[in-house]
Amino acid sequence: MSQHQVHAVQQLAKVMGWHVLSFSNHVGLGPVESIGNASAITVASPNGDYAISVRNGPESGSKVMVQFPRSHCKDLPKGDVLQDNKWNHLRGPFKEVQWNKMEGRNFVYKMELLMAALTPC
């Protein structure tokens, strides 16, 4: 089931114009699953501003993280290291999505709504 959901995200990304950055059916990081392997995928929005990372395991379930542009992150420390404004276009840290509170009947529908919300008009 975990592989099926990650493959669904991959196909949904293709349909919605998102770019697949990484994909793995056998993730070696995170909690060890007693049965089966965890799968993971990371996709980027069409303009590259946002990234969504999904880790899905048979026992641990789904963990969905979103990476926002640095300009949207108010809690990032401002330093003297990055002088040029071009570095502000890098994405910031990942933030976890509260998947159980998202609107939608199933995993694919929730993922479609998330991708649509993060796709520029």
- Choose between 51 and 58: higher pLDDT: 51
111 pLDDT above the threshold of 70: yes
Residue 37: predicted pLDDT: 86
Of 59, 73, 62, give the one whose Cα is nearest residue 102: 62
61-80 pLDDT tens trace: 889 999 988 666 565 555 55
Rg of the chain, C-alpha, whole Å: 16
Distance CA 89, CA 36 (A): 38
Per-residue pLDDT reduced to its tens digit, 77-102: 555 566 666 666 677 788 999 988 99
Helices 2-16 & 107-118, crossing angle to 10 degrees?
30
pLDDT tens readout for residues 9-56: 999 999 999 999 999 888 877 777 888 888 999 999 998 889 999 998
Domain range summary for the chain, segments of one domain joined by +: 1-72+84-118
pLDDT for the residue 34: 81
pLDDT at 45: 93
Retrieve residue 49's tokens: 């501003």
Tell me the C-alpha distance between 29 and 61, whole Å. 14
